[in-house]
A and B are shown apart, each in its own frame.
Chain A
Amino acid sequence: MTSDQSPSQTIGPMYGFALCEEGMDRAVAPDDPHAVTVTGVLLDGDGEPIQHPDALIEVWQGEQFARCRTDAFGRWSVLVRKPAQVPPLPGGKAQAPHLNVTVWARGLMKQAQTRLYFPDEAARNADDPVLALVEADRRPLLVAERESDRVLRFDIRIQGPRETVFFDF
């Protein structure tokens, strides 16, 4: 049996004029007292940055949504709030606060879907039912690093020894 689904195709490099507008990299106002910058680099299988204009990153949770491109160094950055809580899974299982992160890129034939968990939530992360499905030694790859008070770092490696954990979608 095959599905009637319309197949995915790469985003290509020339989407910026259509998909990116000023301010879309912010899910919250810049002066929001709870705003957190989430930033990182996007790396290919050789550890090389996937540079502008090739990659688009989308970050969302609840009412928040932000999208941004990587720059000339493969860096990306969005302004969000850490969600206080996220909806439970079907069946009522609680989840640790997290952000959904989607990677689109030239040469990426369909999205790469991952999750960002927060470094100050060790206890809730330990109980998270989705993290529990990930091999224990790969779970830390899904937890952002605290770079400073208001900055979290989340590097994404598409391929290679420390490949980011991606989920079926």
Chain B
Amino acid sequence: MALDANPPYLFPEYLITKKRSPERALVELPKGWFHTTPGPVFGQIPVLPGDDDLTIGHAGPPQGQRLSLTGRVLDSDGRGVPNALVEIWQANSAGRYTDAADPGFMPLDPNFTGAGRCLTDNDGNYRFFTIRPAAYAGPKGTMFRPAHIHFSLFGRTLSERLITQCYFAGDPLIEHDPIVNAIPDPKGRERLIAQFDAQTTPLMSGGDTSALAYTWDIVLRGASATPMED
């Protein structure tokens, strides 16, 4: 049985999982069957120039702390995954999503939408320019979420499909978040936290496009994510 970095479906502290968690054991296919099943062909999802820069495309610059968020998409053997589709979405610097489902406690920013896309390069690198989203409170009775950016990834196979969230080092809410804490292994939780990169941040050069650099690698589940004794 493969050790699983993923959270279980049921995590009672995150109340809504109680009725939304499959209870029957997942049907396991012989090794290699799913890992070689091609993933979705995502070519109809358009990736246009500038889709990786969430700070442009409006009348002016968005409110908030500018970030560059870069990293590599890797398979379980540590090799870069080229041509992976990365889709991101996030709240603005006040904690408001432009999505119609947002409860609307916080103001919209007319200069920020909060959705981006890119394809990884030949070495699996991705890069987004954006602003740091704020932590936000949901409707009454729901949790206060740490600042996060949602990531959706399409690799090459069915097992390389992932939706997750990227958090930011130093956020005191992370350790109290039931969605984070549903991940059983503390190392797994750490893997979702982007780190400030002083090397890449233009700390001494200034300029109106200066951005704090954060790095975050994403490791997709691939063929060798199963234990070696398998």
A residues sitting closer than 8 Å to B (CB atoms) are: 1-19, 21, 24, 27, 44-46, 48, 50, 53, 58, 60, 62-65, 87, 89-90, 100, 102, 104-113, 130, 133-134, 158-159, 163-169
Contacts and interface: CB of A to CB of B under 8 A. Distances in A.
Question: Which of A24, A50, A164, A166 has the largest number of chain B CB atoms within 10 A?
Answer: A166
Given A45-B20, A50-B20, 17 more contacts: A4-B5, A7-B191, A8-B6, A8-B7, A11-B163, A13-B99, A18-B99, A48-B19, A65-B43, A106-B20, A109-B9, A112-B22, A163-B22, A166-B22, A167-B34, A168-B29, A169-B26
B13 to A, nearest CB: 12
Contact of A24 (B19, B44, B102, B162): B44
Interface of B: 2-9, 11, 14, 16-24, 26-29, 32-34, 36-45, 76, 78, 87-89, 91, 97-102, 113-116, 150, 152, 158-159, 161-165, 179-180, 182-183, 185, 187-189, 191-192, 217-221, 225, 227-228
The main secondary structure of chain A at its interface with chain B is loop
Contacts of B100: 16-17, 53
A169 B225 contact: no
Contacts of B14: 107, 109
Contacts of A1: 3, 227-228
B89 A60 contact: no
B166 to A, nearest CB: 9
Contact of B159 (A89, A105, A106, A169): A169
A166 B27 contact: yes
Contacts of A164: 22
Question: Which of A27, A102, A110, A169 has the largest number of chain B CB atoms within 10 A?
Answer: A169
A18 B114 contact: yes
B16 A17 contact: no
B28 A168 contact: yes
A3 B101 contact: no
Contacts of A133: 27-29
